[in-house]
Chains A and B, each alone.
Chain A
Amino acid sequence: MAEKARLLVAAAAFALLAAGPGLAAPPKTGPAWAELSADHQQILDPLKDSWEQITPERRRNWIGVAKRYPKMTPVEQKRVQMRMKRWAALTPEQRKQARENYRRISKVPPDKRGDLKQQWSEYQALPPQERQGAAPPKKKPAPAK
């Protein structure tokens, strides 16, 4: 009985210690470039030089993207290769904004929004005043780094 109680105390103390800082905080270091698999290194090659500057959380995110990569179509894979560097260079706020916009745009029914690429060309062809007029009255996005 006393032994059991002591065990319980130890378990409780251990749980508190382990649960507190150990599990709550994400690991401080992400995988180093050298730790990536050869496949992932090849896919994420555009990020090779900036990998050290990428936060651990973002690194894991990129590894997640690399895992999805083989399932993408060749066109999609090419797009990823082309956009990777720019996407990584954006500020977290910009990426957040872009994700939010993506979500909003994808909510517009496809039959109403038409061909997105075409719409984007049309929008870009608009005079700057008209484009700015469409924007909600808020601060302009900060220029990409």
Chain B
Amino acid sequence: MNELHFAHRIRQLLNHGARLDGPVAERLRAAREQALERRRVPAAAGPALAGNVAGRLEFAGWSLRVIVPLAALSVAFVATYNWEQKQRAKEVEELDALVLTGDLPIDAYLDRGFEAWLKKRASL
């Protein structure tokens, strides 16, 4: 019972201490505001820096959000185009080698009638 009473007494004392008014509360409030004020400076610097970077994300008036995909697209386009050109060149090279080495002379392939004649014969 004595113990319970003791606990009750401590609670009372703590509650009493927590009840801040007058100069103490005032000083605490001032300190808090001061702390907040100091905190505000670096916090404000954050968005300012971000804004700065966003401002730099431009090139000749174009946003990087436009330029980067555009550049990637053009690189991809050029790569595809080059690859196709290379494939076509390879195909031509292969056909040239075949015409140059084939059983028939070049004239046979230059003749417009031979191929049709051959096909007609083959279908008979």
Contacts and interface: CB of A to CB of B under 8 A. Distances in A.
Given A76-B101, A83-B105, A19 B74 contact: yes
Interface in B72-124: 72, 74-75, 77-79, 81-82, 85, 89-90, 92-93, 95-106, 108-123
B53 A1 contact: yes
B115 A8 contact: no
Given A13-B59, A113-B122, A134 B114 contact: yes
A117 B99 contact: no
B4 interface: no
B112 A98 contact: no
Given A98-B109, A109-B122, A2 B104 contact: no
A119 B114 CA distance: 9
B114 A102 contact: no
- Which of B52, B67, B96 has the most C-beta atoms of chain A within 10 angstroms of its own C-beta? B96
The interface residues of chain B, by DSSP majority, are classed as: helix
B117 A83 contact: no
Contact of A119 (B77, B99, B121): B121
A94 interface: yes
B101 A80 contact: yes
A16 B109 contact: no
The size class of the interface chain A forms with chain B is 35 or more
Given A87-B106, A113-B122, A120-B108, A15 B116 contact: no
A36 interface: no
Contacts of B105: 83, 120
B57 interface: yes
Given A12-B67, A112-B122, A119-B121, A87 B74 contact: no
Interface of B: 49, 52-53, 56-57, 59, 64, 67-68, 70-72, 74-75, 77-79, 81-82, 85, 89-90, 92-93, 95-106, 108-123
Top 7 closest pairs, chain A to chain B, by CB: A135-B113, A134-B113, A98-B109, A76-B101, A134-B117, A112-B122, A64-B93
